[in-house]
Amino acid sequence: MISCKSNNDTRQSAQSIVDKAIEVSGTDAFKHSTVSFTFRNKKYTSQGHCNHYIYSRIFRSADSLIKDYYEPDKSFKRYINDSLVQIADTTAQKYAESINSVHYFVQLPFRLNDKAVNKTYLGLDTIKNKIYHKIAVNFDQVGGGSDFQDKYLYWFGKDDYKLDYLAYSFMVNGGGIRFREAYNERYIDSVRFVDYKNYRPKSENIKLENISKALKNQQLELVSKIENEKIQVKKSKEKC
C-alpha cells in the first residue's frame, strides 16, 4: 500500500507541474489555434479544434509541390501538385510519424497531457546553477504510436516552470539517446516558442538517467540545432 501511494503521489506531483508549465508557456492555445512555422525549408501547420487536430507539411521536391495532411488516429494523405496520390500504408505511417514528431516538440509542454502519456516526478535536479523539477515520461502502447517504448525526461524550472531541457532514448535505427537544450526563447501571441541545441552522448555507456551529469562533465557533443522560423499563431474564439 505504501508503494502504491508513493506512485500515486509522484504522478499527481508530475501532473501539477506539467499543468503549471502549460499555463505559463501559453501552449494550451494549440487546442484552438492555427500555428504555422518553417523547419528545414518545409512549412508545417497545426490546426486545433478542441480535441481534433490536423497537421500538415508543405515543401518542394524537384519541380513538384508536395502537401501532406495527417489527422491523428484517422488518416494520412499526400498531394503532389494538388493531385491525391496513393502510397503504401507503411510509407504513410512513416510520413505521419515524421510530421507528428516535428509538431510534438514545438507544442511542448502541451503535448505532455496527451492520453497515452504517463508522468512520474523524480525530484529536483540542478543544471547550470538552476534548480529544476525532473519528470520522467513513458507511453501506453495504445495511442502511444510506434515509438511507444521511447522514454523521456523533462526539466522544468523550480520557480518559473519553464521547460529548458529534455532528453529521450529511442529504439529505431539502432537506438540512442538525445539531450536538448532550449534557447532563443520568444513569445508569439502569448505562446512560448524555443529552439533546441541537440546533443548526443560521446560514449554509449552513458545512461538516460545520468544525462544531466554527462552535460555537466562535458560528455555530450552537439549533433544539430532545431530551429523553427516564420512562426505565426492565429487563435480561434472557439471555446473548448
Is residue 234 exposed (0-12), middle (13-18) or buried (19+ Cβ within 10 Å)?
exposed
Number of residues that this document lists for the chain: 240
The answer to whether the pTM exceeds 0.75 is yes
- Whether 60 is in a domain gets the answer yes
Selection from 133, 185, 183 nearest residue 27 by Cα: 185
Does some domain include residue 240? no
> For residue 208, which of 173, 161, 166, 174 has the smallest C-alpha distance?
166
Q: What is the model's pLDDT at position 175? A: 81
Q: Are 223 and 198 in contact (CB under 8 A)?
A: yes
Query: Is residue 12 in some structural domain?
Result: yes
Q: Is residue 80 part of a domain?
A: yes
DSSP code for 98: H
DSSP-assigned letters across all residues of 130-179: EEEEEEEEEE-STTS-TTTT-EEEEEEETTT--EEEEEEEE-GGG-EEEE
Quickly tell me which residue has 557533443 as its cell.
221
What range defines the domain where residue 100 resides? Answer: 2-235
Note whether residue 92 is domain-resident.
yes
CATH number at residue 149: 2.50.20
Per-residue confidence (pLDDT) for residue 237, from 0 to 100: 82
- Our count of domains for the chain comes to 1
Cα(219)–Cα(196) distance, integer angstroms: 18
Mean pLDDT by 10 residues, the chain (240 residues): 55 92 98 97 96 95 96 92 96 94 97 94 97 95 60 97 97 85 98 98 95 97 98 87
Residue 217 falls inside a structural domain: yes
User: Are 156 and 133 within 8 A, CB to CB?
Assistant: yes
